[in-house]
Each structure stands twice: as C-alpha cells, then as structure tokens.
C-alpha cells in the first residue's frame, strides 16, 4: 500500500515571505490529494526525528556540529547559512523530520509494512554535501535514506534517480566513490548549482538538458542512458529525488516537461523496481516551486506508484 510520510513540523521551516521554498508547497499537495480522492487510499505516517548516527553516515561530524550550533532558538531571528539557505527557529526540527522520513520509509518497506513510500517533507536535501549546506538544503535526505538501506539493512545495490531540474550535486558528492550506489541525475545545464556534466561511469549517470529542452529530449535521455545502467546495475532498492521544477509552468527553470512526463518517468522507474527490487521504492520530495503545478505533478507521480 502506498504510504505518505510527513509531519506538521515540516511546515515550521520559514525561509522568508519571498522565498520560493515555502510551506505553501505542502499545503497545495495536501489539498490536491484531497481533491483527487487519493488521500483516502493512502496511509499516512508521522516522520520521526533523524538520529545523529543516521546523519553521520553521510555528513561530517564537524559539519553537523556547526548546523546545530547555528540553529536559532524560539523567538530568535533567522540566520543565513548561505545566500539561498536560511534557518528559522523551526528549521532544524523540520530538517530532522525530513531526514528521518526516509529512514522510516526504508524500514517500512524492508519490513513489508508499506510500499511504495512518498516522503512529503521540506526542506529539500539533494544539494547538501557531506560538509556543506546549500540550495535550500541542510541535510541530504535521500542520501541519509540510501545509506540507511545499505548500513542498517545490509543491501548491496541501491539506485538513486534525481529528476529535479537542478543537479543533485550533494548526492553525487556523497556517493561518487561508493560502488553500492548508482546515481542517475537529469538537470538543466548550465544552471544552478553549476555542477555536473554529461558522464556515464559505473555508478554515475548525469544527463544535462539544455534550456528549452522538452519531453522528447528528456525521454530519449532517460531511455538511452538511465534505463540501460539501471538494468545492468539491478538495484535492490530504488530511491527517487522527486523534484518537479523542470515543469514548463514552473518559472524556476527553462526546461519544459509536462505532467505526462512525470507520469511516464515514474512508470519507467517503477518497472525497474518491480523487476529487480521487489518493487521497493522510496520517493522524496525535492523541488517544485509553483504550488498548484507541483501539487498536480505529485499526484500524477503518486498515481503511478499507487498502481
């Protein structure tokens, strides 16, 4: 049964009134789930707080110390971690819930209590490197979840697929030398964070997309590059960094994907999971900054996962 992991504290992260990464994103998804009727056929779970042990599998201890020392207490002013990343009094708890959601998702899937899982959380995570916050991200949520599958459950091959419009630089930095992880990423290039280039190695498959690229370019790249590597790798678990900011109606980028593209790529990834990974999927919300478009795209994504 499809399960959604989230927590009300994920709404308490406040990056400022003009910041695109706002609680309105979660509110829009919740509303669309209710309007579509999907809310009544999924199971909801509250995200737990991530543990220090879980974070230290992918983040440096000194970096974590800095984050916790920097976090403002209740009633204090927000602080800038970098030009894009802000910590308000509610941010640390939201980030702990976001990172904890993926570990809970893995545990639920591995125990066969639920599958697949969608982590409807914020702040996002895929830009956070082992020792650096950036791009709205403090903890690399998807990396924490993947490492949990490897270390707590003894898996030997997990795949992370990232279709956010921004390169998942943090996930790539964390796992670039880890043969147990295959990382596949598509992204607009050149574009923030100005990392990533076309590459295909044993465990990294980067697909840069030009500004203006649409369905044909995206689907050709996925079919011609991601899918063969995924089939050769035979993952035991599929993780999805589900960013929806490559949508044509999202002003964050110049890539022109549609609702149908997210439906299609989800179906392709579900097919891989069904064939090689006993259907095991944890999908983690990343970007998507036009709330109505984000909500519609997420429901398309979940509809395929629900089957």
Burial letters 53-89, b for 16+ CB under 10 A, else e: ebbebbbeeebbeebeeebeeeeeebeebeebbbbbb
Percent of the chain, pLDDT > 90? 96
Say what the pLDDT of residue 83 is: 84
Q: pLDDT of 107-151, one tens digit each? A: 999 999 999 999 999 999 999 999 999 999 999 999 999 999 999
Q: Cα–Cα distance between 238 and 126 in angstroms, integer?
A: 16
Percent of the chain, pLDDT > 70? 100
- Point out the catalytic residue in the list 13, 45, 126, 127: 127
Query: For this structure, is 127 an active site residue?
Result: yes
In the numeric block, the tokens 């976090």 are attached to: 71
Say what the pLDDT of residue 199 is: 83
* CB-based contacts of 152, cutoff 8 Å, min separation 6: 103, 106, 107
Q: Indicate the DSSP class of residue 222.
A: I
Q: pLDDT of 243-283, one tens digit each? A: 999 999 999 999 999 999 999 999 999 999 999 999 999 99
Question: Is residue 293 scored above 90 in pLDDT?
Answer: yes
- What is the crossing angle of helices 141-153 and 91-110, to 10°? 40
Q: pLDDT of 150-169, one tens digit each? A: 999 999 999 999 999 999 99
Q: pLDDT of 158-200, one tens digit each? A: 999 999 999 999 999 999 999 999 999 999 999 999 998 888 8
DSSP 212-255: T-BHHHHHHHIIIIIHHHHHHH--SEEEEEE--TTBTT-TT-S-
Q: Indicate the DSSP class of residue 247.
A: B
299's tokens:
């429901």
Asked if 218 contacts 161 with a C-beta cutoff of 8 angstroms, the reply is no
Say what the pLDDT of residue 304 is: 98
Q: Give me the numbers of helices (H) and strands (E) for the chain, helices first please.
A: 10, 11
Helix (H, G, I), strand (E, B) or coil at 274: helix
CATH classification at residue 267: 3.40.800.20
Question: Is residue 226 scored above 90 in pLDDT?
Answer: yes
Q: Which domain holds residue 127?
A: 3-306
Say what the pLDDT of residue 91 is: 98
Say what the pLDDT of residue 142 is: 99
Task: Supply the mean pLDDT for the chain.
Answer: 97
Say what the pLDDT of residue 3 is: 98
State the total domains in the chain.
Answer: 1
Say what the pLDDT of residue 35 is: 97
Say what the pLDDT of residue 197 is: 83
In the numeric block, the tokens 């992880």 are attached to: 181
Asked if 99 contacts 144 with a C-beta cutoff of 8 angstroms, the reply is yes
pTM attached to this predicted model: 0.98
Say what the pLDDT of residue 100 is: 99
Q: Indicate the DSSP class of residue 49.
A: P
Q: Cα–Cα distance between 188 and 207 in angstroms, integer?
A: 9
């Amino acid at each position: 049964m499809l399960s959604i992991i989230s927590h009300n504290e994920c709404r308490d992260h406040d990056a400022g009134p003009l910041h695109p990464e706002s609680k309105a994103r979660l509110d829009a998804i919740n509303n669309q789930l209710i309007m579509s009727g999907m809310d009544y056929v999924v199971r909801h779970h509250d995200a737990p707080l991530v543990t220090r042990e879980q974070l230290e599998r992918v983040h440096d201890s000194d970096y974590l110390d800095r984050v916790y020392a920097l976090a403002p207490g209740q009633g204090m002013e927000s602080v800038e971690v970098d030009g894009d990343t802000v910590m308000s009094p509610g941010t640390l708890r939201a980030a702990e819930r976001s990172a904890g959601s993926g570990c809970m998702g893995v545990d639920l899937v591995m125990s066969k209590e639920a599958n697949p899982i969608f982590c409807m959380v914020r702040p996002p995570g895929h830009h956070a490197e082992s020792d650096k916050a950036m791009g709205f991200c403090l903890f690399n949520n998807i990396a924490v979840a993947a490492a949990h599958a490897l270390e707590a459950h003894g898996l030997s091959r997990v795949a992370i697929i990232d279709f956010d419009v921004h390169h998942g630089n943090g996930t790539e930095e964390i796992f670039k030398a880890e043969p147990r992880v295959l990382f596949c990423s598509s992204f607009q290039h050149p574009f923030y964070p100005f990392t990533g280039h076309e590459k295909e190695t044993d465990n990294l498959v980067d697909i840069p997309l030009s500004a203006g690229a649409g369905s044909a370019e995206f689907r050709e790249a996925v079919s011609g590059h991601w899918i063969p590597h995924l089939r050769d790798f035979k993952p035991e678990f599929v993780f999805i960094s589900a960013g929806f900011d490559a949508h044509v109606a999202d002003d964050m980028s110049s890539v022109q994907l549609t609702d149908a593209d997210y439906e299609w790529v989800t179906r392709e990834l579900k097919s891989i999971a069904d064939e090689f990974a006993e259907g095991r999927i944890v999908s983690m919300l990343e970007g998507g900054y036009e709330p109505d478009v984000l909500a519609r795209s997420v429901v398309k994504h979940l509809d395929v996962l629900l089957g």
